[in-house]
Amino acid sequence: MKHMKNLHHGTCKKHAVSIERFGTTIQDKTALDFGRGFYTTDILEKAIE
């Protein structure tokens, strides 16, 4: 579980940058790829900041 959290954190930073450039397309793809609401929410929060 600890390893997954670290992986999630690192991936999140990459996707936060992508969302700023490509908008909802990346958000939707990410939600489909991971199938987890908290993941998308975390990205959206970082993108807004």
In the chain, what are the domain boundaries? 2-48
Q: In this predicted structure, what is the pLDDT of residue 45?
A: 67
| Burial class of residue 30 in the structure, from the number of CB atoms within 10 Å of its CB (0-12 exposed, 13-18 middle, 19+ buried) | buried
pLDDT at 47 > cutoff 60: yes
- For the beta carbon of residue 25, count every other beta carbon within 10 angstroms: 11
Instruction: Give the tens place of pLDDT for each residue, 16-43.
Output: 555 455 555 556 666 666 555 555 566 6
pTM for this model (two decimals): 0.17
User: pLDDT at position 6, please?
Assistant: 45
